[in-house]
Amino acid sequence: MFNEEIVKPENLVYKKTDVLTDVVMHYCPGCPHGTIHRIIAEVIDEMGIQDKAIGIAPVGCSVLAYNYFNVDFVEAAHGRAPALASAIQRLHPNHHTFTYQGDGDLAAIGTAETIHACNRGENIIIFFVNNAIYGMTGGQMAPTTLVGMPSATTPYGRRVDLNGWPLQITELVAQLPGTYYVTRQSASTAADVRKAKAAVRKAFENQAAKKGTQFIEFVSTCNSGWKMTPVQANEWMRQNMFPKYVLGDIKLEGEIVRPYNPEDSKVIRDLVSVK
């Protein structure tokens, strides 16, 4: 079906930004990495900072992100993206350095780099894609895996007495004085994409004003690792991830606006009493 009266260049509403290359992404069908890549690329395009943006690719599914962004990119060792970004941003203070990391990279092997970069208040942006699983290696348990959530290494669900609590690193870094803007977003619906884009734009603007570390978490899915269709995975995320990883701003202009999720302390108390 093709309407020649409507499909004209002057009627264009939406198209893929040129800051993303035409390379076909290697991600599984329905993987939110593609959407999150596009959100970041659209903001870079709208702000006109394509020649000043420097990305740091992590280890994980997004290891090949440098193939898809039409900006300068550096590949970091596993978990070391914030350290590399610190160095690059210090050498090029008027550029926009951002890291793009998954939860296995940022919240497991790279915890030290993440926390120290945030604590030093490096003028970088950290994009943290949290899908609660190690997606690339086959769906093993990650620090962010929810309690009771099955994974390849916890087939009967994550147990607190054996595997500990899910790590809420976004709440953790919000406590550090170096972070200026900490928020949690998602990219599963058009409304979420619009909100996430506004948050990404704010982070780049804060970075231009040299305010400190900007930390944006994207609650995401891994439909292959979760063994679901993409649409089911989005629904599962809304029902199970959002109560634990609550969307919204956590730290705004250096002030914590949502100190602690009271539901979390309730859940922790319940589970401790069960044990």
Partner 1 sequence: MAIKGAIVIDVERCKGCGVCVSVCPKQVIALSKNVNVKGYNYAEMVNEDCIGCASCGMVCPDGVITVYKAKL
Residues of the shown chain interacting with partner 1 in the complex, contacts defined by CB under 8 A = 1-3, 5-8, 11-17, 20, 24-25, 27-35, 38, 187-190, 193-194, 229-231, 234
Q: What are the structure tokens assigned to 57, written together?
A: 């690719």
Q: Are 55 and 100 within 8 A, CB to CB? A: yes
Whose Cβ is closer to partner 1: residue 20's or residue 71's? 20
Report the chain's C-alpha Rg in angstroms: 19
Residue 68 vs residues 19, 38, 107, 122, 128: alpha-carbon distances, Å? 8, 9, 24, 26, 18
Min. distance of Cβ 229 from partner 1 in angstroms?
7
Whose Cβ is closer to partner 1: residue 8's or residue 275's? 8
Min. distance of Cβ 35 from partner 1 in angstroms?
5
At 74, which amino acid appears?
V
23 burial via Cβ count (<10 Å: 0-12, 13-18, 19+) = exposed
Min. distance of Cβ 232 from partner 1 in angstroms?
10
Residue 122 vs residues 53, 76, 102, 172: alpha-carbon distances, Å? 16, 17, 20, 16
At 193, which amino acid appears?
V
Whose Cβ is closer to partner 1: residue 25's or residue 77's? 25
Q: Are strands 179-186 and 125-130 parallel, antiparallel or unpaired?
A: unpaired
Q: How many CB atoms lie within 10 A of CB 231?
A: 12
Whose Cβ is closer to partner 1: residue 62's or residue 213's? 62
Q: What are the structure tokens assigned to 52, written together?
A: 């000043």
Q: Would you give the DSSP letter of residue 228?
A: S
Residue 49 vs residues 8, 52, 53, 201, 215: alpha-carbon distances, Å? 28, 5, 6, 11, 19
Min. distance of Cβ 252 from partner 1 in angstroms?
24
Q: Are 103 and 129 within 8 A, CB to CB? A: yes
Min. distance of Cβ 114 from partner 1 in angstroms?
26
Whose Cβ is closer to partner 1: residue 12's or residue 162's? 12
Whose Cβ is closer to partner 1: residue 16's or residue 159's? 16
Torsion angles phi and psi, residue 183, rounded to 5 = -145, 160
Whose Cβ is closer to partner 1: residue 2's or residue 156's? 2
Min. distance of Cβ 183 from partner 1 in angstroms?
19
Min. distance of Cβ 87 from partner 1 in angstroms?
31
